[in-house]
Amino acid sequence: MKRILTTLAVLSTLLIGSVWFAENTPAGMPGYGAAAAQETGAGQAAADTDAPQPEKPASLDMVLGNPDAPVTIVEYASFTCPHCATFHRDVLPMIKKNYVDSGKVKLVMREVYFDRFGLWAGMLAHCSGETRYFGVADMLFRKQKEWLAGGNPQEAADNLRKIGRAAGMSDDDLDACFANEELARALIEHYRTTAGADEIDGTPSFVINGQKYPNMSYEDFVKVIEEKLSETGGN
């Protein structure tokens, strides 16, 4: 729990403060807009415009599969976590094929933010829309090493924009997305609330029908899923 709590404290401080990821943050990305600019007066003209502002999605829990499935897997994952990328590449496709597509299991994905890059990636996935969310998430995990290469904020921002364009988002869509501080704040608050309630201490972590589990192999997932299906009569 230590890493989660430390991250929460740091992110909360950054969000509440007048300078939010201001240093070394590319223009147009979270932290460069109103939260940082209002302190110095920079960007005040932009804040005073009548341009429509994008809204945050109605729900921040993203669901894959039958909403009425007897087994619910809640996944806590970070887009910058290598083990999460492995789960999405090697394990989730088999769970989807054998359990999600048949209506027995639904996956609820909740994002964890260890750093600004993970937050930016989460914003991109949510801004793509509910129908494209998991497709964008898949790209973010599959191309994780590429878009994070070097750890440079500007390079990461540019790489995320490339992924957004590949998903069908326009430059205007991307500008609006990364300027949406309401969404950024909502995502972090949702993470803080849900991860705290489920006592998440690392990623990926899973809550299956209310019981917490660490990362597992596909074979171990099958054992747990079959057990839950037996308990609910969903076999």
- pLDDT per residue as tens digits for the range 203-230: 999 999 999 999 999 999 999 999 999 9
In order, the DSSP letters of 167-233 are: TT--HHHHHHHHT-HHHHHHHHHHHHHHHHHTT--SSSEEEETTEEE----HHHHHHHHHHHHHHHT
- pLDDT per residue as tens digits for the range 185-194: 999 999 999 9
Q: What is the pTM of this model?
A: 0.79
Q: Within 13 Å, how many C-alpha atoms sit on residue 57's CB side?
A: 19
Instruction: Please list the ranges in the chain whose pLDDT falls under 70.
Output: 1-58
> Is residue 69 within 8 Å of residue 104, measured between CB atoms?
yes
Peptide bond into 67 cis (omega under 30): no
The CATH superfamily holding the domain 2-232 is Glutaredoxin (3.40.30.10)
At 25 the pLDDT is 56
At 110 the pLDDT is 96
